[in-house]
Amino acid sequence: MRVASWGAMDLPSSGQDLRIDSACDTESLKVIDELDDRNLIKAVIPTDDVTVDLARKVGEMLALPINSEIAVKVSTNKLAFREFCQDHDFRTPKFQLASADPDHEEVSFPCVAKPLTLSGSRGVIRCNNREELRAAVDRIGNLLQEEQKEPDGDILIEDFIAGDEYSIDAIVSDSVLEILAIFEKPDPLDGPFFEETIYVTPPRISIGRVKQIENELQTVCDAIDLNEGPIHVELRVQNHEIWILELASRTIGGRCGRIIEYQCGISLEELVLINALRLPRPQKNKSSASGVMMIPVTQAGVLRRVEGINKARAVEGVVDVEIDCREGEILRAWPEGGAYPGFIFAAAESTDAVEYALRASYDCLKFVTAPLFQSKF
């Protein structure tokens, strides 16, 4: 049986589907509780940050494996995760919430200002001095207001941690963590903005470093009591030390999870379902290395056309080039932006070859835009 929340897209029906409203926990729990045969539900899996707590409540009601309330809170709230790491002596940047007057903050520079309610690196800004910090707080406030969030919503200010950045997707089953993929980010993310571009796997790091990352994540999951389901982690390695920047009890966002299929032989969604249902994992052909490029917005404007798509797809090692934007669409650069105009996927015998294919394919593309004029009235 499949349970889905209402959304913009229709869910193909198999005759055993149940629709719930994820915005109303009480009504959703009531609908599930009133099923004629509750044994039809064998697992409950959240698909994003919004549904994690509802999944916990359903799991508790049906006595299914699920994470605890504190684990859900820590893994869905950036501030709660920072506070947890600080209280349990895990390496975490020194942090504080922005006050109304940034001049009064006791801040070390460089620092990073980020909104607590946005994702995808939107509104994340590096600040090298107090003047830049004031401008960043104002800019993030405007973005929150534009997004119809609280204009004075919480803004986190934390030390900037230099180092190599990695993204990790893993599955936890009965409290045991299994890393599915460690994504290396070869383009430096030093600011002032933090738009991500390339993910490649396996990372070009030693087996010892992989084991260090695995041990650190297992220790953190044990401390949080995160014992079931997918997790997505962002971390940096600085002077051989691991700094976990973010941890979420969900899969990787967007279409980047497609790389998991190249790496593991089956899709990320299948892996999560197989784990939840405790089914044997099928053995399928895997790629030696794979990667994705989230096509950056280098120039804001109104899209007129995209040139070179066929040439980009013809690059050796490229699996696909997906262009999501259409003529007339407004392209916005980070930190206000949030939608990538497209994705390039590649698979090859080595990580070096994958990175080369992604960059060569991107070099074939040209996004032709017109200036974006804003009315003064």
| DSSP code string of 217-282 | HHHHHHHHT--EEEEEEEEEEETTEEEEEEEESSPPSTTTTHHHHHHHSS-HHHHHHHHHHTPPPP
Residues 6+ apart with CB under 8 A from 291: 183, 198, 199, 200, 201, 259, 345, 346, 347, 351, 354, 355, 358
Measured distance CA(137)–CA(125) in Å, rounded? 9
Measured distance CA(63)–CA(59) in Å, rounded? 6
Burial class (CB in 10 A: 0-12, 13-18, 19+), 247: buried
Instruction: Give the residue ranges of DSSP H helices in 63-129.
Output: 69-74, 78-87
On the question of a cis peptide bond just before residue 110, with omega within 30 degrees of 0, the verdict is: yes
Q: Is the distance from CB of 77 to CB of 71 less than 8 angstroms?
A: no
What phi-psi label fits residue 335: left (phi over 0), alpha (psi between -120 and 50 degrees) or beta?
A: alpha
Which is it for strands 301-307 and 330-331: parallel, antiparallel or unpaired?
antiparallel
pLDDT at 154: 86
Beta bridge partners of 111: 127, 159
Burial class (CB in 10 A: 0-12, 13-18, 19+), 160: middle
How many Å separate Cα 291 from the centre of its chain? 15
pLDDT at 61: 86
User: 342: how many CB neighbours lie within 10 A of its CB?
Assistant: 20
Beta bridge partners of 158: 95, 112
pLDDT at 349: 95
Signed CA dihedral, 303, 307, 309, 312: sign only: negative
Name the stretches of the chain with pLDDT < 50. Answer: 1-15, 377
Measured distance CA(155)–CA(137) in Å, rounded? 7
8-state DSSP, 49:
G
Measured distance CA(312)–CA(63) in Å, rounded? 50
8-state DSSP, 36:
S
8-state DSSP, 193:
B
pLDDT at 2: 44
Beta bridge partners of 327: none
Residues 6+ apart with CB under 8 A from 270: none
pLDDT at 12: 43
Domains of the chain by start residue, with CATH:
2-73 (no CATH), 94-159 (3.30.1490.20), 161-286 (3.30.470.20), 287-377 (3.30.470.20)
Q: Is the distance from CB of 139 to CB of 105 less than 8 angstroms?
A: no
